[in-house]
Amino acid sequence: MARKPGRMAGIGNKTIDKTNSQLSDIELDVIANTSVDWESLKPQITDKESYENLIKAVNETTQKNEDIALLKNRLEKMGKGVMSVAKKVYEIIK
C-alpha cells in the first residue's frame, strides 16, 4: 500500500513552489530593469556571409531556448510527479 506524503512533505513542496515563484519574479524584474545598448552589441562584421552565419546561429539558438522553455512550462503544468521523472531522465542522458 502506497504511503501518503506526510505534512512535512506538503510544507516542503509549498516552500519550493513559493521560492520558485519569488525567483521567477526577481528574474523578470532584472530583465525589465536592464537596459541594453543595442548599438554596442552590433557585430563589427563586414563580411556578409559571416554576418548571415552569425544571424542564423543566433536564430537557431533562440529557437532552441524557446523550445526548452516551452517544454519546461508544459512539464510543470503536468505536476510535480512528471517534473521529478523528467529531471531523472535529464540526469541520465546528460
DSSP of the chain = -PPPP-HHHHHHHHHHHHHHHHHHHHHHHHHHT----HHHHS-----HHHHHHHHHHHHHHHHHHHHHHHHHHHHHHH-HHHHHHHHHHHHHH-
Question: For 47-84, what is each residue's pLDDT tens digit?
Answer: 888 888 888 888 888 888 888 888 888 878 888 777 77
pLDDT tens digit string along 16-26?
777 777 677 77
Least confident of 3-7, 14-18, 52-56, 83-87: 3-7
- Residue ranges per domain, the chain? 45-94
pLDDT at 6: 66
| pLDDT score recorded for residue 56 | 87
pLDDT of 41:
64
Instruction: Provide the pLDDT for residue 2.
Output: 55
